[in-house]
């Protein structure tokens, strides 16, 4: 069939060609192998070298892992069972996993951190997945108080009194906003809440406690340890550093000189100092600055320092996102008459945060892994506990198995965060570019 009328010079196509299948060498596994592994002499050599290296590593580590001993009471017993062969001694994990998880938390109270962990999953679910009922957010808001009470124990009235501070603030806001403008009312509300927390919350809760006793056994901070400690510091740090980072990033871009100077000063100072010095400050120096007699919980101090540290990095990541937005977005928001806070909340931040997701999650992961640094100020995170476990004569000399276990646990958390961030990026993708 001729469709090109070769005899006439002006050309008009009168039949359209149908689609045809590509040649077989251009599709499927064959093509993939050729393109990716054997496309040139150099690539063939690299492929062979890589396969060789992988085989070599598996040959050496494989038997060590396959020969693992899971049932023994000491390293010596492990070696006896192995009888000279190479093999891992994961019995140490079986023997000491509860320490790696909970530190020296009283073993009869393990249900409390476990319950707190389960509730944490419930609390963060509505924040992570927007398909869940929105009412669950109320539980997420209450969760920090529930978790505090479960983990540290003591009187239930204390967390209730702290929650009461929010009610006091809200009441003050409602009362004052009838009399004055909303900004003054807001300032009054914050002051009222602070007055409540600093001077009134403690006496009120102890008075209520003596009237109606509602308490569970208290556990001191020094007994906390293991992954429980890492998760407490990590999750609190993550939850607090994001809002603080956003405020710092906005502050750095602010037109108000004082706010800008404070933000820049804070960010540059914190970024310029190693985290470990901040932690030492938290553990040693802070006590000199506080009034004598006040004891300020060490875990709380560490959380504050870790949060400040991560917030400075977070601020810079978010500033990058803000800078990446076209100026037209700011102008369109202005032109519609949105004020600064509404423009930020509805237009600018949703887009800037979306752009910054990889950087934000990167900072989260960094923060979570940095919690292992608390070992240097005497807190027993998993690394600190591995030293404690080795100090026992039964397990003296065991390194790899403990570190592999700790590494795997951290990897699960960090990989989970990274996967979630990719899911979130896909879900928020609306630009269809």
Partner 1 sequence: MSELVLDHDIDRSKMKVSNEIAIQIVKMNKWYGQFHVLRDIDMTVHRGERIVICGPSGSGKSTLIRCINRLEEHQSGQIVVDGTELTSDLKNIDKVRSEVGMVFQHFNLFPHLTILENCTLAPIWVRKTPRKEAEEIAMHFLRKVKIPEQALKYPGQLSGGQQQRVAIARSLCMKPRIMLFDEPTSALDPEMIKEVLDTMIELAEEGMTMLCVTHEMGFAQAVANRVIFMDQGQIVEQNEPKEFFNNPQSDRTKLFLSQILGH
Residue 161: count of CB within 10 angstroms of its CB: 23
The pattern of x and - marking residues 311 through 350 that bind partner 1 according to CB under 8 A reads ---------------x-xx-xx-xxxxxx--x---xx--x
Residue 35 touches partner 1, criterion: CB under 8 A: no
Shortest approach of partner 1 to residue 425 CB, angstroms?
Answer: 13
Residue 10 touches partner 1, criterion: CB under 8 A: no
Note every long-range contact of 67-72, with CB atoms under 8 Å and residues 24 or more positions apart, other chains counting: 70/94
| φ and ψ of 378, to 5 deg | 90, 5
Shortest approach of partner 1 to residue 357 CB, angstroms?
Answer: 13
Q: What is the distance between the alpha carbons of residues 217 and 307, in angstroms, rounded to a whole number?
A: 29
Shortest approach of partner 1 to residue 130 CB, angstroms?
Answer: 14
Residue 432 touches partner 1, criterion: CB under 8 A: yes
Contacts of residue 334, Cβ cutoff 8 Å, sequence gap at least 6: 343
Shortest approach of partner 1 to residue 359 CB, angstroms?
Answer: 18
**Beta 154-155 vs 215-216: how paired, if at all?**
antiparallel
- Tell me the CA distances in angstroms from 112 to 106, 218, 229, 293, 410, one per residue in order: 10, 11, 14, 30, 22
Residue 431 touches partner 1, criterion: CB under 8 A: yes
Shortest approach of partner 1 to residue 423 CB, angstroms?
Answer: 17
The pattern of x and - marking residues 400 through 429 that bind partner 1 according to CB under 8 A reads ----------------------------x-
Nearer CB in complex with partner 1: 246/373: 246
- Residue whose entry in the numeric block shows the structure tokens 């308490």: 215
| φ and ψ of 195, to 5 deg | -55, -45
Contacts of residue 245, Cβ cutoff 8 Å, sequence gap at least 6: 310, 311, 312, 313, 314, 315, 317, 318, 363
Enumerate residues 218-277 that contact partner 1 by CB under 8 A.
none
Residue 346: count of CB within 10 angstroms of its CB: 12
Nearer CB in complex with partner 1: 329/394: 329
Enumerate residues 68-107 that contact partner 1 by CB under 8 A.
none
Phi/psi region, residue 290 (left: phi>0; alpha: psi -120 to 50; beta: rest), is beta
Residue 134 touches partner 1, criterion: CB under 8 A: no
Shortest approach of partner 1 to residue 331 CB, angstroms?
Answer: 5
- Single residue of 131, 135, 178, 433 touching partner 1 by CB under 8 A: 433
Shortest approach of partner 1 to residue 250 CB, angstroms?
Answer: 17
In the complex, the residues that contact partner 1 under the rule CB under 8 A are: 326, 328-329, 331-332, 334-339, 342, 346-347, 350-351, 354, 428, 430-433
């Amino acid at each position: 069939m001729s469709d090109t009328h070769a005899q006439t010079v002006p050309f008009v196509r009168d039949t359209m060609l149908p689609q045809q299948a590509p040649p077989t060498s251009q599709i499927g596994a064959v093509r993939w192998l050729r393109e990716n592994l054997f496309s040139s002499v150099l690539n063939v050599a690299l492929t062979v070298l890589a396969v060789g290296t992988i085989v070599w590593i598996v040959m050496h580590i494989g038997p060590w892992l396959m020969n693992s001993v899971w049932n023994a009471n000491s390293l010596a017993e492990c070696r006896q069972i192995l009888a000279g062969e190479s093999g891992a001694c994961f019995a140490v994990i079986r023997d000491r996993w509860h320490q790696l998880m909970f530190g020296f938390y009283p073993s009869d109270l393990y249900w409390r951190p476990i319950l707190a962990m389960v509730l944490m999953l419930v609390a963060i679910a509505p924040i992570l997945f927007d398909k869940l009922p929105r009412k669950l957010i109320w539980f997420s808001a209450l969760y920090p108080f529930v978790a505090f009470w479960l983990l540290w124990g003591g009187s239930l009235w204390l967390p209730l009194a702290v929650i009461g501070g929010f009610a006091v603030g809200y009441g003050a806001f409602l009362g004052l906003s009838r009399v004055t403008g909303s900004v003054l009312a807001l300032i009054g509300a914050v002051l009222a809440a602070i007055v409540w927390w600093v001077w009134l919350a403690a006496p009120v809760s102890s008075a209520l406690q003596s009237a109606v006793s509602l308490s569970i056994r208290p556990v001191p901070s020094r007994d906390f340890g293991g992954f429980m400690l890492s998760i407490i510091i990590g999750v609190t740090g993550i939850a607090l550093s994001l809002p603080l980072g956003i405020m710092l990033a906005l502050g750095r871009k602010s037109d108000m000189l004082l706010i800008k100077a404070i933000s820049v000063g804070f960010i540059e100072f914190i970024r310029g100092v190693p985290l470990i010095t901040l932690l030492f400050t938290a553990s040693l120096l802070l006590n000199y600055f506080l009034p004598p007699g006040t004891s300020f919980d060490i875990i709380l101090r560490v959380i504050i320092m870790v949060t400040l540290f991560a917030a400075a990095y977070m601020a810079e990541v978010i500033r990058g996102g803000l800078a990446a937005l076209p100026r037209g977005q700011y102008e369109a928001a202005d032109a519609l008459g949105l004020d600064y806070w509404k423009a930020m909340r509805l237009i600018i931040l949703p887009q800037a945060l979306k752009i910054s997701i990889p950087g934000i999650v990167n900072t989260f992961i960094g923060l979570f892994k940095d919690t292992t640094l608390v070992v240097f100020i005497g807190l027993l995170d998993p690394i600190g506990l591995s030293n404690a476990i080795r100090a026992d004569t039964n397990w003296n000399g065991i390194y790899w198995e403990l570190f592999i276990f700790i590494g795997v646990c951290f990897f699960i958390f960090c990989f989970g965060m990274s996967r979630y961030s990719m899911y979130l990026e896909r879900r928020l993708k609306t630009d269809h570019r």
